[in-house]
């Protein structure tokens, strides 16, 4: 079999796609995930999760209690996937970029972690901790300050979106728009030399 060459355009399109991450979202968020991919550059592993809040397949909803999980109305589990060393490497940096302003639901959105896959709309995740706080309503182009972590802080944690504001008492409101890109930067342990 002869050597095959890849043209620049083909190589670019392959690199842009990455490969499916293998992270499985909970039923309360799965229809809002546009893609969840990983790409490698040496020992670095970049996981990208694209979330469409107002997805036509199943829009997410928010309530107005501080720290309450954002998810599909009526679904019991709304995590975006579980971080594992095998898939994501040792995660040391996390960022979230708003590429379309959220409409319909609350736009003050935080990225949080939980120790279990057990939280749905208006609940709180077991062991919930804030990873990135928006500190106000997200608009297109906004990016909460990227957060650094040591290699074990996020291992085996579940990712959730949560309301970051403090108003309360309102019923769930469905998003009609809004898109977020979440990136996890991790590192694989190279083989012994």
What is residue 20's predicted lDDT score, i.e. its pLDDT? 78
What is residue 31's predicted lDDT score, i.e. its pLDDT? 95
Per-residue pLDDT of the chain (193 residues; tens, 9 = 90+): 567 777 777 666 666 556 777 899 999 999 999 999 999 888 999 999 999 999 999 999 998 788 899 999 888 899 999 999 999 999 999 999 999 999 999 999 999 999 999 999 989 999 999 999 988 899 999 888 888 998 789 999 999 999 998 776 677 899 999 999 999 999 998 888 8
What is residue 136's predicted lDDT score, i.e. its pLDDT? 86
Burial (CB < 10 A; 0-12, 13-18, 19+), residue 163, is: buried
What is residue 51's predicted lDDT score, i.e. its pLDDT? 98
What is residue 145's predicted lDDT score, i.e. its pLDDT? 85
What is residue 18's predicted lDDT score, i.e. its pLDDT? 64
Distance of CA 68 to the CA centre of its chain: 16
**Which residues sit opposite 62 in a β-bridge?**
173
Residues in the chain, total: 193
What is each CA distance from 12 to 9, 15, 34, in whole angstroms?
5, 5, 20
What is residue 179's predicted lDDT score, i.e. its pLDDT? 98
Closest to 88 measured CA to CA, from 52, 37, 126 = 37
- Residue 192, token pair as written in the block: 């012994």
What is residue 162's predicted lDDT score, i.e. its pLDDT? 95
Q: How far apart are CA 25 and CA 72, in angstroms?
A: 12
């Amino acid at each position: 079999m002869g050597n095959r060459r890849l043209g620049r355009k083909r190589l670019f399109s392959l690199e842009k796609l990455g490969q499916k991450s293998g992270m499985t979202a909970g039923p309360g968020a799965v229809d809002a995930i546009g893609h969840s991919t990983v790409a490698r550059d040496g020992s670095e592993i970049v996981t990208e999760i694209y979330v469409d809040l107002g997805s036509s397949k199943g829009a997410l909803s928010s309530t107005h209690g501080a720290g309450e999980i954002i998810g599909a109305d009526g679904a019991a589990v709304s995590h975006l996937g579980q971080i594992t060393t095998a898939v994501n490497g040792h995660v040391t940096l996390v960022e979230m970029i708003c590429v379309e302003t959220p409409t319909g639901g609350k736009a003050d959105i935080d990225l949080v972690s939980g120790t279990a896959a057990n939280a749905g709309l208006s609940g709180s995740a077991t062991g919930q901790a804030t990873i990135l706080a928006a500190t106000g309503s997200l608009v297109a182009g906004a990016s909460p300050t990227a957060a650094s972590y040591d290699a074990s802080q996020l291992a085996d944690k579940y990712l959730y979106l949560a309301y970051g504001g403090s108003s309360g008492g309102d019923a769930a409101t469905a998003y009609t728009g809004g898109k977020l890109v979440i990136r996890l930067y991790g590192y694989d342990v190279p083989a012994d030399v």
